[in-house]
Amino acid sequence: MVLHALEGGHGGGGDSGVTVTIRSADAQRLRELTRLREETGLAAEAVKRLELENESLREEKAELRAELFEIKEKFAKQNANYRQLQLWLAGVPAEGAVRKSGRREERLLQAMGEVSKDGSALALSAVSFCEQVQQLLKELPIGKVRQAEIQLQLDGLSKDARRFIALTESGETVAKGIDALRTCRILAVNRELSIVVLSVGSVKGAFAGMIYRVGKDRQIQLRVVSVRPYAAAAEVVKGTIGDLAPGMEAVAGESRESDTSGTVVPVRTSN
């Protein structure tokens, strides 16, 4: 676009001309440049904001990694403690040797039996006493609120006593003899340790070396390696431990023990 402007001179009679040229292409480029500068500024602000968010995410990621590492360490310690507990229950220490029950454990078991017996008698006396006091409450001229308070205490004491009696009776009524020894259940299967925990123990007459058969056709053989009062640890001597699961029935079959000459002879459980 070209504009021409003419100015007339006064007095001189001469004419002078001024020409102003405005190019539309330059104006468009200026507007485009201005827009690009604005967009660049906005983009720079967005990049800065994203960098701040990214830095914050890095810090959160580092914190999460630290927490995850701490959780892994705690889990590893708990797993190690659980493994030691399993080994202790199975009677096998970490080095793999079979640990037999000592005299101290036998004395503790005997003492627990005596405490259980005395505690059961005391619990029976407590239940009888609660019943007598409850009968007496009906005859005493006391307020209903006080009577309700005493009744609640008596009910709690009687409930605890009956629970203790039930616990002691469950231990005393454990079946004994060959029938209780012949059959049991698998309580747990530890494939990592190749150990099977059975629901039979020394109170039922179980001993190290006994053979139990498991499975549909009794093809899997287990040999008891350690015995506790109410549980036993066994290893798989025939078959695969992968075919075993908690709850499966195990039946005593043939056991092996050494005679005086050192040879291994089969011994069958009698009916």
Q: H or E segment at 238?
A: strand 232-238
What is the reported pLDDT for 222? 93
- Average per-residue pLDDT in the chain? 73
In the structure, how many helices (H) and strands (E) does the chain have? 4, 10
Task: Tell me which residue has tokens 């009524």.
Answer: 173
pLDDT < 50 regions, the chain: 1-7, 9-11, 13, 93-98, 173-177, 255-271
Domain boundaries, the chain: 21-90, 103-172, 178-268
Interatomic CA distance for residues 151 and 149, integer angstroms: 5
What is the reported pLDDT for 100? 53
Radius of gyration of the chain (CA): 45
What is the CATH T-level fold of the domain 178-268, as seen in this structure?
Thrombin, subunit H (2.40.10)
Interatomic CA distance for residues 103 and 259, integer angstroms: 25
Reported as a single tens digit per residue, the pLDDT across 26-75 is 778 888 888 888 888 888 888 888 888 888 888 888 887 787 778 878 77
